[in-house]
A and B are shown apart, each in its own frame.
Chain A
Amino acid sequence: TGLSQQVTLSVKNVPLQKLFKKITAHTGVSVIYGERVLRNTAPVTLSVKNASLKQVLDLCIKDQPLSYTLEGNSIIIKRRPAGNPPEAPPGPAADSLITATGRVTDSKGGPVPGATVLVKGTMHGTNTDGNGHFSLKGVRPGAVLQVSSLGFEPQELTARSGAVSIMLKESASSLNETVVVGYGTVKKSDLTGAVAKVGEEAIKSTPIPSLDRAMQGRAAGVQVTTNSARPGGAATIRIRGSGSVNAGNDPLYVIDGFPVSGGLNSINADDVASIEILKDASATAIYGSRGSNGVVMVTTKQGRPGKAVVSYNGYYGSQSARRTIPLLNAQQFALFVNEALINNGAAPYFNGSTPERALPETFGEGTDWQDVILRNAPIQNHQLGVSGGTEKSRYSISAGYYDQQGIIKNSGFKRYTLRANLTNDISSRVKTGLSMQGAYTQSNSAKTDVDGTEGGGVTSSALSYSPTFPVFNEDGSYYKNQGSLNGYGVDNPLAVANEIINKNSVLRLLANTYLDYEIIDGLHFRASLGADLQASKTNNYTTRKALAGASLGGSAAVANSQSINWLNENTLHYTRQLGHRHSLNALLGYTIQGLSTENATARANTFSDDFARYNNLEAGSTLVSPSSDASNWKLISYIARVNYGFDDRFLLTLTARRDGSSRFGPRRKFGIFPSGALAWKLMNERFMQQQSIFSDAKVRVSYGLSGNQEIGDYQYLANIAISQYVLGGTLQSSAHTSGIANPDLRWEKNAQFDAGIDLAFFNNRLQLTADYYNKKTADLLFSVSVPTSSGFTTTLKNIGSVRNRGVELALASVNIDRRDFRWTTDFNITFNRNKVLRLDGRESFTAGADARLFNTTINPILLQVGSSLGNFYGLVMDGIFQSKEEIDASAQKTAKPGDIRYKDRNNDGVINDNDRDIIGNSNPDLFGGLNNTFTYKGIELNVFIQGNYGNEILNYGNFDLLNLTAGNNQSARVLDRWTPQHPSNSMPRANAAGGSRVLSSFQVEDGSYLRFKNISLGYNLPQRWLSRLHVNSLKVYIAAQNLFTITRYNGYDPEVNRYGSSSLSQGLDYGTYPAAKTVLAGINLKF
Chain B
Amino acid sequence: TACEKQLDIASVTNLTNATYYKTAEDAKSALGVCYKNMGVLDPFPDLVTTDDAVPFLSGAADRVLLWRYNLTPSNSFINVYSGAYAGINRSNTVIDRLPGIPMNEDLKNRYIAEAKVLRALHYFNLVRLYGGVPITITETATLEGLDIPRKSVDEVYAQIEKDLTEAENVLPPSYPAADAGRVTAGAAKGLLAKVYLTRAGTDKSSPFWARAAAKAKEVIDQKVYGLYDNFADAFALTARGGKENMLEVQYLTDVYGHGTGRGYGPRAAPIFPGGGSAIARPTESLFNAYAANDKRKPVTFMTSYTYNGVTTNLSITDPDPSKAVSFQKLWDRSAKTNGGEGTSRPVLRYADVLLIYAEAANEAAGAPTVEAYTALNDVRARAGLADLSGLSYQAFKEAVWLERRLELAFENNRRFDLVRTGRLVDAVKAENGYNRNAQIQPFHVLFPIPLSVMDASPTLEQNPGY
Contacts and interface: CB of A to CB of B under 8 A. Distances in A.
Interface of A: 344-346, 480, 482-484, 487-489, 547-548, 550-553, 592, 605-606, 621-622, 624-625, 629-634, 636, 660-662, 666, 669-670, 713-714, 717-738, 740-742, 785-793, 795, 797, 842, 845-846, 853-859, 894, 912-913, 963, 965-968, 992-997
Contact of A714 (B14, B57, B59, B76): B14
10 contacts: A480-B268, A488-B58, A622-B337, A624-B254, A636-B6, A721-B14, A724-B255, A728-B179, A736-B90, A791-B89
Contact of B181 (A622, A727, A996): A727
Given A788-B81, A846-B455, A912-B72, A735 B241 contact: no
Interface centre among A482, A551, A621, A632 (most CB of B within 10 A): A551
A487 B58 contact: yes
B236 interface: no
B456 to A, nearest CB: 4
A737 B93 contact: yes
Contact of B85 (A669, A724, A734, A791): A791
B144 to A, nearest CB: 10
A786 B141 CA distance: 12
Given A726-B252, A785-B455, A793-B452, A720 B4 contact: no
Given A548-B274, A718-B16, A791 B60 contact: no
A547 B322 CA distance: 14
A953 B180 CA distance: 54
B106 to A, nearest CB: 19
Contacts of A725: 32-33, 35-36, 250, 256
Given A551-B272, A666-B8, A724-B256, A997 B61 contact: yes
Given A723-B36, A725-B35, 8 more contacts: A482-B322, A621-B336, A622-B336, A737-B93, A792-B89, A968-B58, A993-B57, A996-B61
A74 to B, nearest CB: 50
Contact of B74 (A622, A717, A720, A859): A859
A338 B12 CA distance: 60
A661 B272 CA distance: 49
A482 B275 contact: yes
B349 interface: no
B77 to A, nearest CB: 8
B92 interface: yes
A273 B344 CA distance: 63
A662 B7 CA distance: 4
Given A660-B4, A670-B4, A736-B90, A842 B29 contact: no
B439 A488 contact: no
Contacts of B89: 790-792
B143 A993 contact: no
B182 interface: yes
B58 A736 contact: no
Enumerate the 4 nearest inter-chain pairs by beta-carbon distance, A residue then B residue, closest first.
A791-B89, A487-B58, A482-B268, A734-B32
| Size class of the contact patch on chain B | 35 or more
Interface string B424-451: 0000000000010101000000000011
B17 A714 contact: no
Contacts of A854: 59-61
B36 A789 contact: no
Contacts of B30: 734-736
B61 A735 contact: no
A177 to B, nearest CB: 39
A632 B10 CA distance: 8
B148 A785 contact: no
B28 to A, nearest CB: 8
A728 B178 contact: yes
Given A734-B36, A735-B26, A788 B4 contact: no
Given A552-B336, A631-B12, A734-B33, A791 B270 contact: no
Interface in B295-311: none
B336 A894 contact: no
B394 interface: no
Given A727-B35, A735-B20, A622 B61 contact: no
A785 B81 CA distance: 14
Contacts of B17: 718-720, 737, 741
A789 B33 contact: no
Contacts of B13: 629-631
Interface of B: 3-4, 6-18, 20, 26, 28-30, 32-33, 35-36, 57-65, 70, 72-74, 76-77, 81-82, 85-90, 92-93, 133-134, 136, 140-143, 146-148, 175, 177-182, 240-241, 250-252, 254-256, 267-268, 270-275, 277, 319-322, 336-338, 340, 435, 437, 439, 450-453, 455-458
Contacts of A845: 455
The B interface is mostly helix, strand or loop, or mixed, namely loop
Contact of B456 (A345, A553, A793, A859): A793
Contacts of B76: 855-857
A272 B457 CA distance: 52
Interface centre among A714, A735, A966 (most CB of B within 10 A): A735
A714 B11 contact: yes
B455 to A, nearest CB: 5
B146 A997 contact: no
Contacts of A480: 268
Contacts of B65: 996
B81 to A, nearest CB: 6
Contact of B268 (A547, A622, A729): A547
B435 A789 contact: no
Nearest to B86: A791
Nearest to B439: A894
Nearest to A661: B7
B73 to A, nearest CB: 6
Contacts of B85: 788-791
Interface centre among A740, A788, A967 (most CB of B within 10 A): A788
A718 B58 contact: no
B5 to A, nearest CB: 10
A514 to B, nearest CB: 23
B11 to A, nearest CB: 5
Contact of A995 (B58, B74, B134, B241): B58
Contacts of A859: 74, 452
Contacts of B458: 842
Given A484-B321, A786-B456, A791-B89, A552 B148 contact: no
B295 to A, nearest CB: 26
A720 B23 CA distance: 14
Contacts of A551: 270-275, 338
Contacts of B33: 723, 725, 734-736
B331 to A, nearest CB: 14
Contacts of A738: 14
B140 A792 contact: yes
A728 B63 CA distance: 35
B250 A726 contact: yes
Contacts of B452: 785, 788, 793, 859
Contacts of B64: 995-996
B271 A788 contact: no
Nearest to A726: B250
A740 B141 contact: yes
A662 B9 contact: yes
Contacts of A636: 3-4, 6-7
Given A629-B13, A717-B16, A996-B60, A552 B273 contact: yes
B293 to A, nearest CB: 33
B61 A856 contact: yes
Given A633-B9, A854-B60, A722 B14 contact: yes
Contacts of B136: 789-791
A10 to B, nearest CB: 43
Contact of A669 (B4, B62, B252): B4
A487 B320 CA distance: 10
A342 to B, nearest CB: 13
A884 B270 CA distance: 46
B155 to A, nearest CB: 14
B16 A789 contact: no
